[in-house]
Structure formats: C-alpha cells, structure tokens
Amino acid sequence: MMARRRGDLLGLRAALSDRLLPVLVGAMSFLAALAVGGALACATLAASWQGDTEAALTIQVPQPNDPDAANDGTRLAAVQRALAVNPDVQGEAIMSEAEMNRLIAPWLGSDAASLGLSLPAVITAQWEGEGSADELATQLQQASPGTLVKTGAIWAQRVAALTTSLQACALAVLLVVALVAAAVVAVATRSGLAQLRETIDTVHGLGALDSDIAGRFATRAIWLALGGSAGGTLLALPMLAWLAWLAAPFTGPARLGGFFNLPPALLVLVPLLPGMAALIGWVTAQLTVRGWLRHLP
Amino acid sequence: MVRFEDVWLRYRHADRAPEAEALRGISFEIEDGGFRWLTGPSGAGKTSLLKLIYLAEHPARGRIEILGSRAARITRREAALLRRRIGVVYQDFRLLPQLDAYDNVALPMRLARRSEAQVRADVDEILRWVGLAHRLHARPDELSGGEQQRIAIARAVVARPKLLVADEPTGNLDNEQAERLMLLITALNKLGTTVIVATHNTALVERYPFPRLSLEHGRLVHDG
Ligand SMILES: Nc1ncnc2c1ncn2[C@@H]1O[C@H](COP(=O)(O)OP(=O)(O)O)[C@@H](O)[C@H]1O
Ligand SMILES: [Mg+2]
C-alpha cells in the first residue's frame, strides 16, 4: 500500500494512462520488426546467391583441338593442365557434347555438329580464389590464345548493390519509425504535463528536483512503450515466420527449416525492439519534461 | 536569516508603467529564529514578497539572501534543496487533488526520501496537532475549506523547516482553530524556526505582538 503510494507520488498513472501511446508505439514496433526481418532476409538470400554466382567460372576454349602455343599437345589439354595445377580452381569439368547441343539447340537447331561449325570447348569450374580471375585469364590466353574466362563477379556485384539499397531502405524505415515513436512519446508527455500542471508546480515548490519529476514521467513512459512495443513485436512474429517460409526455397533447406525456424539473427534482434522502444520512451520523456520544467523558477 | 536589499519585483507581461511594479525597493532583515507579521491591504504585495522568499519568483532588481544562500547565485538543484528547508502555507492551499490528506502531508518527507516509518510517525503526529487524525483518507475535495487549510499547514511544517512562510493561514479558520494554529506556529518558532506570516487578522496580530512588516502599494511602510 505504502509502496504503491510512493511509486505513484504524482498520480501519473491517471494522467499518463493514454491508451494511444502503447498502441502507436506497438504499431511502430510492428513496422520495425518487419523492416528488420526484411533486411535480414535480404542479407541471408544475398549471401547464399552471391556465394553461388561469384564462384561460377566458365572457360571457353576456341579451336580446342588445334596445337597450343608451345606446340605441345592440343589447346584444350594445355588449358586443362593449367587449371589442374591452379589451387583456386576446383571441380573443373568439360561440358559434354550432348549438354552443349542442349544449350545451343534453341539457336542453332538440334544437331549443331552437322552445320560444320567449330564450337569452342566449354569448361565449368568453381572459383575459390580471393581476388578476381584476371590473372588466370592471362595465363590461359598465353597457353591458348583466344581463351575466354568468365566469372559470376558482375552478377555478384549487382546482387550486392540490390541488397545494399534494400538494407538502406530498411534502415530508413527504422529511423522514421524511431522518430515517430519519439514524437508520440513527446506528445503524450506534454499532454500529461499540461494535465498535471498544478501538481508539478506544487511539487516543484516543495523542493522536488527536476530529475525527480522527469524520472517519474520517464519511468511511466518506459512501461507504456515497453508494453506497446512488446505487443506490436509479438504480432509481427507470425508475419515474419510466414515470410521466412516463403523465402525458404530460395535460401535452401539448410538455412531455413520449419515454420518457426526463423534465422537466429532475427531471433536476437527482434526481442531488442521493445528494449529500443523503452529507451526511446525514457530519453524522450526525460528531455521533454526537463525542457518544460525550465519554465518554472 | 532572511535579508532583502533594495528588492524590486515586476511581473512578466505586466506593462512598463511604474505602477506595474509589485514590489518597490524593499529592504529588511529577519534574524534566525525571528517572527514577523506581514500586513497591508489587499494588493499591497504581501503574496509577492512571500513568493520571493520561497523562491517562486525572481526579483527584477536587488539582493535576496535566504537561510545563508544568495538567491541569484544558486543552481536549480541548490534551489530545490533550499525549498525543502522552507515550509510554505499557500494562500490557495495547493493540495494535490489526487492524493488523500495523509499522502498530501507526507509529500515533503517523501520528496526528501525519508523512511516510511519516519513518514508515518511524523505525519500521524502533525495530523493530531491540527486535529485531523480522523480524516487521514479524505481527499481534498471531501474536506471543508478550514480542513484543507489545516492540511496545508500540516504539510508546511511536517518536515520541520528552518523557515516557515504562511500566506493568510487563518483566512478560513474560526477563532478557536486560529488560536490552535498560533500555538503550533509559536511552538515551532520557539524551537528555532524562523517564521513570517501574512495576515489580515488584526485581532490575532494584537494578541501575538511580534514585530510587523507592513506593505502599501509595493512599498515597505513599517518595520518593527
Ligand atoms: N502573477 C501575477 N501577474 C501579474 N500581476 C500580479 C501577479 N500576482 C500579483 N500581481 C499584482 O501584484 C500586486 C500585488 O499582489 P499580491 O502580492 O498578490 O498582493 P497581496 O498578497 O498583498 O494581496 C497586485 O497589484 C497584483 O495585481
Ligand atoms: Mg495575497
């Protein structure tokens, strides 16, 4: 009984009972959770796609059966020797004639060989080097002039640019959402101050410190923001789980499993949102009240 | 000690004509443990002078010293701590409507973070003194004007202030209650509290012949 009175010395519970504050903060948290989920999904998908694309290496050897530059066997054999000793190149395989035919059939008809074209040999492999494959390309061209080396780097760059811009959007959403939450808390606090104007005048006159008064409002704001935000975040979880389920085929079963198998980073970040909301509530209420108290002598 | 030296007060937003000065060139001194009546017709500036003493207004000019502190020289925090040593009975009581009588009286002690046991002991004692021990749980709107005034007085003295400032504290009291109040105030004064009481009640001033500060149109016209 006494503890309750002490806890609510100013009757703030009645003045700051504003149902709008938790509801709006909850809505902001809902949006923030989706933004965080989106940003993380981007990062996960991008990481998996980028890995695959970046590593893909395609090597075309024209006139594969002509002698090589050193006159030491066929050009194809020279390229294969060079690839075999390069530690950055793994899993090289010559594309079979059947596979080549399947790939070019849409353009050249089903039996390209009958056209008498001399098709290049195509070797696919995985690039596991750190940097670009330019050096490899120079080396292969020396062994077999006209050899082309293509990596997925350009695609990887495009995926990376897309991811970065999507993440920037998510960050902008988070910022706007945080600002709106702060504005909501500031408005609610100001209305509470106006309602309690005489009480605060009196308590100030009785020797309450600015920090006493601001602290009481800030504590109240923490609980309201925390409650609202927890609600909003909880409501966002099924939505996030559904999105994760939609994304599962793209990221592979190893990364996203069952319905509630959200990415671990999300499970860490999303519970932080109510904490952030509480912090925003506390800081905003403190600043608002202290600013307002400056009008008192 | 309370000391005023050539103090002027002009309310903000008041027009600049000389008549807009609520207080004009006030100088006086109240020694530690002293008692002063503050008299003068309505509008003379009594409340204004008390507001300067309990740090609710800043003077336009002049020097004010309260309990050893220069009012113009202290930080906000120091001002708050100084206010805790000044008990104030406001002319309009200023009880918190959402709190009951007990919690209103307990407020200064709780702001000073006294223990609940101490709060209980002191609040019970002072409520008995003002004769309202049976009205602990009444809210201000359930109390009569006289009862509210007694609660306001209890709140002003519960934390044993060094300086007690009362603005027309007997305004809503009958003679017997006014008499009780004067017993309480003079008892505190004897224990060392400096007291200044603004009043219209000439009978009371005659029965308790303490020195008197008298205001007219914002000027001090009598001191002694
Ligand atoms: N807050 C205020 N703003 C402007 N003028 C005020 C204010 N309070 C008092 N006054 C003016 O200051 C003068 C002194 O008032 P006050 O100190 O209340 O007198 P008293 O308490 O002796 O009746 C009066 O003329 C009054 O109108
Ligand atoms: Mg007055």
Is 70 exceeded by the pLDDT of residue A128?
Answer: yes
Is 90 exceeded by the pLDDT of residue B165?
Answer: yes
Rounded Cα distance, A93 and A140, in Å: 16
Is 70 exceeded by the pLDDT of residue B30?
Answer: yes
pLDDT tens profile B116-133: 999 999 999 999 988 899
Residue A14's pLDDT is 64
Judged on CB neighbours under 10 Å (0-12, 13-18, 19+), B214 is: middle
Q: For residues A112 and A21, which has the higher predicted lDDT (pLDDT)?
A: A21
Contacts of B85 in chain A (CB under 8 A): 207
Q: Taking the domains of chain B in order of start, what are their residue ranges?
A: 2-85+161-223, 99-160
Q: What would the mean pLDDT of A219-224 be, rounded to a whole number?
A: 91
Phi and psi, residue B213, nearest 5°: -105, 130
Check if B140 has its Cβ closer than 6 Å to any atom of ligand 1: no
Percent of chain B with pLDDT over 70: 97
A115 with A92, same domain: the answer is: yes
pLDDT tens profile A11-35: 666 666 667 888 899 999 999 998 9
Q: Which residue's CA lies nearest to atom 1 of ligand 1?
A: B11
Taking alpha carbons only, the member of A293, A238, A244, A288 closest to residue A21 is A288
Residue by residue, what is the 3-state secondary structure of chain A?
CHHHHHHCCCCHHHHCCCCHHHHHHHHHHHHHHHHHHHHHHHHHHHHHHHHHHHHEEEEEECCCCCECCCCCCEHHHHHHHHHHHCCCEEEEEECCHHHHHHHHHHHHCCCHHHHCCCCCEEEEEEECCCCCCHHHHHHHHHHCCCCEEEECHHHHHHHHHHHHHHHHHHHHHHHHHHHHHHHHHHHHHHHHHHHCHHHHHHHHHCCCCHHHHHHHHHHHHHHHHHHHHHHHHHHHHHHHHHHHHHHHHHHCCCCCCCCCCCCHHHHHHCCHHHHHHHHHHHHHHHHHHHHHHCCCC
A94 with A126, same domain: the answer is: yes
Q: Across A77-81, B167-171, B215-219, which has the greatest mean pLDDT?
A: B215-219
Rounded Cα distance, A58 and A281, in Å: 56
Q: Which of B58, B85, B98 sits opposite A11 (nearest CB)?
A: B98
Residue A256's pLDDT is 43
- Ligand 1 centre to CA of B64 (Å) is 19
Token couple for A72: 């030491």
- The topology (CATH level 3) of B2-85+161-223 is Rossmann fold (3.40.50)
Could you tell me the residue range of the domain that residue A99 belongs to?
Answer: 63-146
Rounded Cα distance, B111 and A35, in Å: 44
A38 with A69, same domain: the answer is: no
Task: From the CA of B14, give the closest atom in ligand 1.
Answer: 4
| Cβ atoms of A126 and A57 closer than 8 Å | yes
Check if B40 has its Cβ closer than 6 Å to any atom of ligand 1: yes
Q: Where is the domain boundary, A127, A146, A165?
A: A146
A211 with A163, same domain: the answer is: yes
- Write the DSSP string, B85-152: TEEEE-TT----TTS-HHHHHHHHHHHTT--HHHHHHHHHHHHHHTT-GGGTT--GGGS-HHHHHHHH
Which of A12, A206, A216, A290 should be substituted to probe chain B, the one whose Cβ sees the most B Cβ atoms within 10 Å?
A206
Q: What would the mean pLDDT of B54-74 be, rounded to a whole number?
A: 93
- Ligand 2 centre to CA of A5 (Å) is 33
* Dihedral angle over CA of B19, B25, B31, B37, nearest 10: -20
A175 with A118, same domain: the answer is: no
A13 with A142, same domain: the answer is: no
Rounded Cα distance, A225 and A269, in Å: 17
A151 part of a folded domain: no
Percent of chain A with pLDDT over 90: 27
Is 60 exceeded by the pLDDT of residue B44?
Answer: yes
Tokens 């209980």 — which residue?
B120
Residue A95's pLDDT is 82
pTM above 0.90, yes or no: no
Is 50 exceeded by the pLDDT of residue B200?
Answer: yes
A13 with A100, same domain: the answer is: no
Rounded Cα distance, A29 and B208, in Å: 67
A58 part of a folded domain: no
Kindly provide the ipTM of the predicted complex, given to two decimals: 0.90
Q: What would the mean pLDDT of B79-103 be, rounded to a whole number?
A: 93
Residue A257's pLDDT is 45
Closest A-chain CA to B119: A2
CB spacing of A206 vs B81 below 8 angstroms:
no
The contact set of B with A (CB < 8 A) is 54-58, 76-77, 79-86, 88, 94, 96, 98-99, 103, 106-108, 110-112, 116, 155
Taking alpha carbons only, the member of B142, B151, B150 closest to residue B103 is B151
Is 90 exceeded by the pLDDT of residue B8?
Answer: yes
Is 60 exceeded by the pLDDT of residue B18?
Answer: no
Which of B96, B110, B148, B153 should be substituted to probe chain A, the one whose Cβ sees the most A Cβ atoms within 10 Å?
B96
pLDDT tens profile A173-217: 999 999 999 999 999 999 889 888 989 999 999 999 999 999 989
Q: What would the mean pLDDT of A226-248 be, rounded to a whole number?
A: 85
Rounded Cα distance, A76 and A94, in Å: 10
Token couple for B29: 């001194």
Q: In Å, how far are A44, A154, A248, A251, A257 from A254, measured between CA atoms?
A: 12, 26, 9, 8, 7
Q: What would the mean pLDDT of A157-178 be, rounded to a whole number?
A: 88
Q: Could you give the number of structural domains in chain A?
A: 2
Q: Which of B81, B96, B155 sits opposite A199 (nearest CB)?
A: B96
